[in-house]
Structure 1
């Protein structure tokens, strides 16, 4: 079997000639610092900072209805609170690693945490809607700076035998964090105050700053990097990604390309993105190092990440939407379903890391098993009926407790194995920005397909009813009967749409499965970079 290419070894002729060895160019990679309890404290602080950013995003989204009610704003205006935040959040992740290295990881992360807390504290006091929009944009920029820092710190400070466990901590932000959004939103809105959707990050933020300040080493700032700042990449990349995210999140509401605004967002965002990528390929110090795509496992990991995020968003959104529309569940009623998934992940993620940290485990088989379980979940969900309640989804969630860690951890292993710490910022920028951009793609896909299929099923049900005059006459004999009939048709259309969405998710899982035997190659844990003799 083939293995992930490693750095070239020193030829034997150089080993025999000490003069030539001395003359060889010095290595620029920083020396591995001893892993101490103090650095471990700093890493925990970075983990909590990333979790803080995810919770800030998810909780406010889950509590959006209560926030809209408190500010007396309608649905259309409320959607911009999410769209503007997400656009700023995703666009910032592209550039955050560069600024983190320039201002030092410690200072930049603490500054971003403080800014996220500050803007969150101000949001409930916004005097008008435009001010609230500005505060959410600024909070999106601050929050988007946090998740990329965790991968950089893990690659830099963790010893090889612990790197996968550190990445398991990062995986919590992609699995455990989003699952906590609905329960926390329900807790604050039902029992405390809607303002806590913004303020709940403050206690965790204070702990993050203390842990990072005490734990991480104080590196010198590298302000001289601004002399080679990639201005062309910045002025093309930031608006490009922001425009595309806004277009994806507002597309279904504005009827996609029938809207002039959506045409402008995609028509301007797509060429700017192409210009950004071309510029990054030619830059000596880029934000995206596209040359990393030459590594097969890196390319496979990013490709699978796009589909995996679509699966995760879809399999979380479909039950929540179904229960809310068909059975009028509030977040408080759907919270146990999310907690049932979130809490066991605290155990299955480290166990999966331990499995992948052994030489015998092939990450290709692990990711294939996880994707197969996701396919089974979607196939089972496609049999949904109006009789399903919350309890019917627990079996589906049980499969995800095992499947999600397998897929996410294998993706992270493919991204980081064989990657030197000096390239960690590039990998982090590409991985995190693609992850959050994929969530916007997933939201646009689910809303678009859901709307189209619901309209289709509603029309088909009405046509079938019209072909049965006796049933129609019995059902619409009174105004109350007409309302009941309309409700039943809408309810059945939602159920059929949910089944269709599960089938779409199953097709995504199959497509990702087909990539496994083609693209990735065999790799080994970070502590064991050379394969056994039999390989």
Structure 2
């Protein structure tokens, strides 16, 4: 039979069977997972890590930056607030922008803008000092937060889109580095630049890795076409409602402790306006044909549970490491250089612990819900052990707590990522990324605000109680002061100052123990949700190849008859 006859026969056989041979395009099958794509993925990971590092390093070193620039505490707090506002807002809208402008273009643009703004800030600081213009610094920091906030959603998007099912969990483990590794590395790097090099390098440290990231992303990730037609359905109401909503809420949380929470009309107005705008934003997203957030995804119990637990867990991860750092700085007089070993004790083992937990969860015989329960249980144990702290504790007393956190943090974060993304299609990846990263960014702000506010409130309570109890024992106090003044050769004014400092130290210790205790109960409360909300999920695996169904003999005979008939009609060439 001639080649034309064979092709006609194949076509006839497919038509008779009713199941034509599928023509699988590259777009339908998904991009090939090659070494080039791996380089691009690593480039995105580097970009996200430097964005997180910049945030935490600047936060830790803010007292040194204020001293170098001659800024007040209020000015320093507004620099941090401006960065957080735009960073969290960018996480809301970045997945939509990456789908419109292409993942590669958008990531490269965000990394380049982030690095250039980091380069410019120290130079602008000198200029601003000369002209007494704080607005320049505030604008640059806000713009850098906008660029930095665009990067974390890209990592989850590329992991869901490019990674094969068998190793997708390891890619999500790399994403977990942004919640465990990068925050703990902030204190050591801040100590390095402030103690040995100079404060401008707090901003310039990102430049070499940013250049490397841009090169890897440009070479490794495939270039998608522009989809500017999406602007025809652009969610303008979503931007006009969502950006102010998240901005007002973040400002209220960041500035609440400094301005007195409900004692400040500004904080009350911002909180009320933010909640109202956020409610309107969510209603708008429900009905919009091309939303930034797909509210309907929350009907999935696992995703809803993962977002709730992620928010609670990140609140704990912000509050718990902050307690030893604040205590050692205020009571023991530690600089970041002396506190750095505590942070390194948690940060560096994450490079081993995260892949190990990912491998554990990638085993089909392991239920990730109970891995999550184990991580939350270790976190609760850490908090309850920490609640027994006293004013005699030094850095060495906290190492046991950090040791438990080495295992607790990845055991809590990776199962949440697995529960949230299981069953997600690449088309749903940007929506999942928007949900997960916005909750993550906002939970970090909430955690910092709650920890600071709770510590301040409980410190005032304990201080009042201590002073009241001391006033009830006037004679004992006078004898103790007289004996101490004689031994230290101190005057009356110095003794009053020493007494006030001791009251402050004890009140801070008791307040820190209260924060530990509250975070421990929160972790136990999250464990209670595990049997109630999530369903069991299994690690992703490649879909089995489709086996063609056997064809009936009659259909094959009919196909062959049709083939002979069509062959007879073909012209013959000599």
What TM-score results when the alignment is normalised by the length of structure 2? 0.87
Q: 1:458 aligns with which of 457, 463, 469?
A: 463
Instruction: Describe the shift of the 1:203–1:476 C-alpha distance in structure 2 as closer, same or farther (beyond 3 A).
Output: same
Aligned to 2:409: 404
Q: Which runs of 5+ in 1 are unaligned?
A: 1-14, 531-535
Residues 475-524 of structure 1 deviation map (CA, whole Å, 9 limit, x = unaligned): 45522221111111111111101100000101110110110110010100
Structure 2 CA distance, aligned partners of 1:148 and 1:487? 45
Q: Secondary structure at the match of 2:442?
A: helix
Q: 2:192 aligns with which of 187, 192, 214?
A: 187
Q: 2:329 aligns with which of 302, 324, 341?
A: 324
Q: 1:376 aligns with which of 377, 381, 393?
A: 381
Question: Are 1:520 and 2:534 an aligned pair?
Answer: yes
Residues paired across the two proteins, number: 514
Question: Are 1:393 and 2:398 an aligned pair?
Answer: yes
Aligned to 1:34: 32
Q: 1:506 aligns with which of 520, 531, 535?
A: 520
Question: Are 1:130 and 2:135 an aligned pair?
Answer: yes
Offset of residue 320 of structure 1 = 0.4
Residues 300-322 of structure 1 deviation map (CA, whole Å, 9 limit, x = unaligned): 10010010001100111001001
Q: How does 1:50-449 map to 2 (within 5 A)?
A: 50-126=48-124, 127=128, 128-449=133-454
Q: Say whether the 8 Å CA contact 2:245–2:273 is kept in structure 1.
A: yes
Structure 2 CA distance, aligned partners of 1:28 and 1:377? 49
Structure 1 CA distance, aligned partners of 2:377 and 2:165? 29
Residues 461-485 of structure 1 deviation map (CA, whole Å, 9 limit, x = unaligned): 1111111112221345522221111
Offset of residue 529 of structure 1 = 7.5
Instruction: Describe the shift of the 1:17–1:236 C-alpha distance in structure 2 as closer, same or farther (beyond 3 A).
Output: farther
Instruction: Describe the shift of the 1:18–1:310 C-alpha distance in structure 2 as closer, same or farther (beyond 3 A).
Output: farther
Q: Say whether the 8 Å CA contact 1:29–1:422 is kept in structure 2.
A: no
Instruction: Describe the shift of the 1:278–1:30 C-alpha distance in structure 2 as closer, same or farther (beyond 3 A).
Output: farther
Structure 2 CA distance, aligned partners of 1:100 and 1:69? 39
Superposition CA RMSD, Å: 1.9
Structure 1 CA distance, aligned partners of 2:26 and 2:264? 51
Q: Say whether the 8 Å CA contact 1:106–1:216 is kept in structure 2.
A: yes
Q: Say whether the 8 Å CA contact 1:150–1:170 is kept in structure 2.
A: yes
Between 472-481 and 360-369, report the one with greater CA deviation. Answer: 472-481
Q: Secondary structure at the match of 2:259?
A: coil
Q: Say whether the 8 Å CA contact 1:458–1:490 is kept in structure 2.
A: yes
Q: Secondary structure at the match of 1:175?
A: helix
Structure 2 CA distance, aligned partners of 1:28 and 1:347? 35
Q: Which runs of 5+ in 2 are unaligned?
A: 1-13, 483-491, 545-574
Instruction: Describe the shift of the 1:30–1:271 C-alpha distance in structure 2 as closer, same or farther (beyond 3 A).
Output: farther
Question: Are 1:468 and 2:478 an aligned pair?
Answer: no
Q: Say whether the 8 Å CA contact 1:359–1:528 is kept in structure 2.
A: no
Residues 288-338 of structure 1 deviation map (CA, whole Å, 9 limit, x = unaligned): 111111111111100100100011001110010011111011100000000
Instruction: Describe the shift of the 1:18–1:199 C-alpha distance in structure 2 as closer, same or farther (beyond 3 A).
Output: farther
Q: Secondary structure at the match of 1:107?
A: helix
Q: Secondary structure at the match of 1:252?
A: helix
Offset of residue 443 of structure 1 = 1.1
Structure 2 CA distance, aligned partners of 1:29 and 1:250? 48
Aligned to 2:488: none
Q: Say whether the 8 Å CA contact 2:353–2:406 is kept in structure 1.
A: yes
Residues 405-442 of structure 1 deviation map (CA, whole Å, 9 limit, x = unaligned): 01100000011110000000000001001101001111
